[in-house]
A and B are shown apart, each in its own frame.
Chain A
Amino acid sequence: MSSYHRHYSDWMFYLPKSFRRNSSVVLSIWLSAVVVAICRTPTIASDDVGPAELNDKVDFVRDIKPIFQKRCHSCHGKQAQGGLRLTSRVDALKGGDRGPTFVPGNSTVSLIVDAVTEKDPKALVMPPTGNKRLSVTEVRLLRAWIDQGAVWSTDDNSDLDKQTNTDHWAFRSIVRPEIPHVKRRNWTNNAIDHFVLGQLENKRVKPSRPASRATLIRRLSLDLTGLPPSPTVVTAFINNSHPDAYGQIVDHLLSSTAYGERWGRHWLDVARYADSAGHEMDERRPIWKYRDWVIRSLNHDLPFDEFTIEQLAGDLLPNAKRAQRVATGFNRNNMGNGPEGIVDRSNTVGRVFLGLTVGCAQCHSHKFDPISQNEYYQFFAFFNNSDDPLLEFATDAQLAARNEIRHQINKAKKTLEDHGTVLAENIEFWESNLTVEDRTLLDPSVRMILDIPRADRTPPQTATLLQTFQNTHVSYRRLKDAYDAIVSKEPQFDATLVVNEREQPRETTIFIRGDFQSRGDKVEPGVPQVLPPLDAAASRSGTSDGKRRLTRLDLARWLVRPDHPLTARVTVNRVWQHYFGTGLVETEDDFGTQGKPPTHPRLLDWLASEFMSSEWSLKRLHRLIVTSATYQQSSQFRPDLVEIDPRNFLIARAPRLRLEAETIRDQALAVSGLLNRRMGGPGVFPYQSDGVMDGRADKSQWIMSQGMDLYRRGTYIHFWRLTPHPFLKVFDVPDAVESCTRRTRSNTAIQALAILNHPWFVDCARAMADRLLRTTVLGNDERIEFAFRLCLVREPTASEVTALKTLLDQEFADFETTDSETQHDRELAAWTAVSRTLLNLDEFITRE
């Protein structure tokens, strides 16, 4: 059956019911509707692209069960209307008042097919309400399933209504699928292309032509490093005649440290990284070492299984290294404290690694996925057993030395204070005996205080006066100097938030209805039953009774076990999503039964399996994806796809993606030559508008960084949860309140204003103009061409050059003077307008 061939009865579905019922009256309208419909390109619904790979065997659980549940069970589930229940194969075969529902192997004589296709509208139409009727795809699946023998799940008697969804696709283990055969083998570069092209050929859709080399180098560079390629790199690539020039540039980019910054930022989104605590106080907190650890680990291509283990449980590794403890900062990025924070830690791991909305089971057993409330708290128990210390970057000797200094500080402070108290007794005497001359030597602000009657002075005024008086004594000043000197000696160490497992386990109970004040039964750490078992006996170092309390380390190792069905799938899906805008599973944070099924289930499994067998190497995964022909397609929109696949689920072209906030800025800094590539360290504070920090309870200020720190990459900008930098926010940076697995991509006038007028971009436009003027080329045309190569990695068209030259001329004309002194200013202003134009282009802020 192909999507191009539809039965008459299928078409009926497109017509309002009144048309169908009253056919004689509306026949002419109906006919014209059919004609219009037929003239349109055949339509593929998204769910069409989903589970149904048409030449495949229909899978009951994946394809048919959801149809029964969605369309039929409200009447033919528990209720058995008309005597029919469609909840087990036995019941369905038995049928209802009208006889058996279907005849396995022959859909053409099956009652259910007649009913859903409305073969005889007068006899039987199901479902009776219009909005529940089956889609064309669903009908096709149902027919195919019956024709293939109507195989139910494992047990013909099993009752769908009672059954949990344990046989959901995502809970089945990953089996490496066969690579499908395709007709256009010469199009394919690697296995990915076989899976993608296989589906395209099934739907008779052609893939897009490859993007130009220029587009590809820009796409690759932005995708892999978040920075534009320099003109030299571009030229080298385009002129490289080596057969594997493309592979070489991929390797080059993957080995750049910018790769870790780019993909680290993606990871920091899911890790809900921020430099402050959130809530009303939003205190600053030191955790940038964790951010740097992420970037470094990705640059070293730390295998993803180790990457996972170190972040979840680095502290529990035997002889944990400091870096492994720093990694546990992953657990510390939550906002809430106490049980609320632990809830967030559990839900984050559930979402990031399992791709499940485990949080739903916090108050009650999950309504759709097989996770009971008991299991939720078993999962929670893993995280409910840690202390939350601050790890200082100091040796024991350094810490001892600091303790000694702190002791001295306290001593010096006491001496100073004691002396001050003694002196204070004489302050009134001093005040009343001040001569006019003495007074003139005092600071005006102190003189002002002296003029206020003693009783009316505020406490700070009294304190100021006392200090002034004390400082008139050499003895006091000497003690003060000594105190200051010793304070200045106190060493400051870098520090970062980490977790440590408690020695005495904390008891975990169910929180009834999610209320941590209502404790239910006690639970021990454990994993949901639907997933591979994790038992203490199987792990090392059991206690004498053979049982041992499971820890985060057990959990982390379990997550990356080769038989785990979720971690690898969820991870490759998220990586895929960054390249294609949408994951193979569109609901990247819900692989449960309420999520969308994968558009390419076999590709997903193949990638997951390949990822694990390449030792969880992310760089190899990236290489695999970006060297595919699928990735290298043009992103040009195709009229033929707009109707049949508007969301590009088939991937018959590359997506066009608006860049992320940080990348938009990094790129502008790079092309203007301002970018400071220094890596790591505490967050930086580039320019921010006044008023953003207004009304903060902690009174923190945004004190602008100095010098080249203003031009560091966006990843390093200090992130206040309560008051994120407005530019970042306007371009959809997540708020770090909880884990973010996908950013939105909005498109607003406020964004336009930001790139037009924000001082960051004004700086960039001026610097870029300066750069253009400093190039040795002379003519305006050549400068414009150079600017295009810098910003867009392509040559301008003739009309683009004309448009920018017109702009230049108009800008020049605005300067009336011909004074040679101002000639440079004049050129700079005009070229700044040109640069401002380029930095604002849709193409500039988009990866094509």
Chain B
Amino acid sequence: MQLATNNKFHARRKLFSQCGVGLGSIAMASLVNDASRARARRVNRKIHRPLAPRQPHFAPRAKNVICLFMMGGPSHLDLFDYKPQLEKYDGQPIPPSYIEGERFEQIKDTAPTIMRGPWSFGRYGESGAHVSELLPHTREVVDELTFVRTVRSDETVHPHAQLLLFTGHRNPGRPSLGSWVSYGLGTEAEDLPAFIAFGRGAVPQAHDGLFANGFLPSTYHGTQFRNRGAPVLNLENPQSVTRRSTRRVIDAINKLNTERLDVVGDPEIASRISAYELAFRLQSSAPDLIALRGESQATLDLYGADLSKPSFALDCILARRMVERGVRFVQLHYGDWDHHGNIVNAFPPMCRAIDQGCAGLIRDLKTRGLLEDTLVIWGGEFGRTPVAQPQKTGRVGRDHHVHAFTMWMAGGGVKPGTSIGTTDDLGFHPVEDSIHIHDLQATILHLLGLDHERLTYRFQTRDFRLTDVGGRVVEKLFS
């Protein structure tokens, strides 16, 4: 009997060493027989906290991330990357040298024509950054922003480009950025998920791939908040059930689940145990988190938000409340910025919808002293072409563009009021500092104190990482 128990122990140690960071030592400890029950209880507590804060690889510049994902690919040429030459050559065919070997996603004309931006630009702030007239609020905070004008993607269609941006790979199945970050760092928010994803507008073409855990343990899956009605449902205890009773029920559930984990050894059970612990804590933390009514009128005005109207601005306030409470990674998506046609009419309302929310978020984070520790990232899965995509309706737009497009970052250790990378006169190709999506990901991880080459997970005999086999940290961005 003694021998059998022992064997079982060793076998399980082996088994659980595969379960991923945190779960391993833990689940194993729960299996030890009566003799070390006290220790098991102690370690058991850890089962419930696979997201306990973990030391980064080196000193971090940022602790939390808010990712403002502009789904569909906003036109960098009409917002931040000012190109007077577009005006000059408007309507003329683009020189063939630019488009040699180019395969646009939809444009089929072999000699597409250059298209000017219909909107005017100005220079703002001490940094003198160019910003379109469509973003009157954002231009007031340019000195807080770092523009990356030469982000490069490999994928010209939405789902693949979105997956590349968030998972480092064009196909589904890899862990998302937020999952990697929560796996690498855990979270300081004991009572909230480490990684929350939400948004409004169209359904992302990459679906849950944007916040899925891939092959990481399911604990690292992004928790999705709803955009209709209450962001989190089922927070209230059933009628006439006390919180104390729920606590006891969860204790019983987890005790029985732990026993089952002993017997069958499925790491999913360990994830479920931690999910129930978090669920209990969410019951008290989430109502507080989502109680936007507590925001002052001044704050609402800062974001241009109205409590009675669900909006991107309100979502930004919620995002701030999340990082304020220690949520590690907030992913907020908005859009459909996919303006193949009718850009003249369809683009300005999108800009209006996000402008004040973005600017308000930056100011609000700064005022509250949160900006230093929070990295804010704004951008889409690609930009848009300097050439026109004509439509039968006569309402032109711009096609997808992957060679160079603009994102901005703020806070968390990036150099404010600067810009990195230059594009050519038409905003088509990079001429300086081309930054691949993998470079961007390596940089984001670096800002969080993680070495993208060391943040790996062994799966099917291979050590996988977010940046696949690429990635170069862009140190120029750092403050």
Contact = CB atoms under 8 A, between A and B. Distances in A.
Nearest to A848: B264
Nearest to A841: B256
Most buried by A among B193, B203, B242, B252: B252
B246 interface: yes
B268 A811 contact: no
Most buried by A among B236, B240, B257, B279: B279
Interface string A675-717: 0000000000000011111110000000000000000000000
B278 A642 contact: no
B148 to A, nearest CB: 26
A780 to B, nearest CB: 14
Contacts of A833: 241, 245, 248-249
A515 interface: yes
A446 interface: no
A643 B257 contact: no
A121 interface: no
A833 to B, nearest CB: 5
Contacts of B242: 814
A119 interface: no
Contacts of B266: 637, 656, 846
Interface string B245-276: 11011111101110110011110110111011
B221 A747 contact: yes
Interface stretch (A158-166, A220-228, A501-509, A757-765): A757-765
Given A757-B234, A803-B255, A726 B226 contact: yes
Contacts of B218: 746-748
Contacts of B208: 744, 746
Contacts of A737: 203
A638 B226 CA distance: 38
A647 B460 contact: yes
Interface in A772-831: 797, 799-800, 803-804, 806-807, 810-811, 814, 829
A517 interface: yes
Contact of A639 (B15, B226, B244): B15
A647 B283 CA distance: 35
Interface string B351-394: 00000000000000000000000000000000000000001100
B310 interface: yes
B212 interface: yes
Contact of B461 (A45, A749, A759, A806): A45
B224 interface: yes
B342 interface: no
B469 interface: yes
Contacts of A829: 240
A639 B232 contact: no
Contacts of A762: 238-239, 241
B228 interface: yes
Contact of A515 (B106, B251, B256, B259): B106
B392 to A, nearest CB: 5
Contacts of B230: 689, 691
B14 interface: yes
Given A636-B264, A829-B240, A756 B252 contact: no
Interface residues on A, range: 35 or more
Contacts of B226: 726
B252 A748 contact: no
B229 A692 contact: yes
A624 to B, nearest CB: 27
Most buried by B among A518, A638, A840: A840
B249 A752 contact: no
B76 interface: no
A39 to B, nearest CB: 12
Interface in B181-237: 193, 203, 207-208, 212-213, 218-219, 221, 223-224, 226, 228-230, 232-237
B278 A639 contact: no
B293 interface: no
A735 B58 CA distance: 42
A46 B460 CA distance: 6
A807 B249 contact: yes
B18 interface: yes
A719 to B, nearest CB: 15
A656 B264 contact: yes
B279 A841 contact: no
Nearest to A806: B252
A837 interface: yes
A814 B249 contact: no
Contact of B279 (A723, A756, A842): A756
Nearest to B229: A691
B14 A752 contact: no
Contacts of B271: 747
A346 interface: no
A567 B249 CA distance: 49
Interface string B384-422: 000000011000000000000000000000000000000
Interface of A: 43-46, 131, 512-515, 517-518, 635-640, 642-643, 646-647, 656, 658, 689-695, 723, 726, 735, 737, 744, 746-754, 756-759, 762, 765, 797, 799-800, 803-804, 806-807, 810-811, 814, 829, 832-833, 836-837, 840-843, 846, 848
Interface of B: 11-12, 14-15, 18, 106, 108, 193, 203, 207-208, 212-213, 218-219, 221, 223-224, 226, 228-230, 232-242, 244-246, 248-253, 255-257, 259-260, 263-266, 268-269, 271-273, 275-276, 278-279, 282-283, 310, 391-392, 459-462, 469
For the complex of A and B, the 3 pairs showing the least CB-CB separation, nearest first, are A691-B229, A637-B265, A752-B279
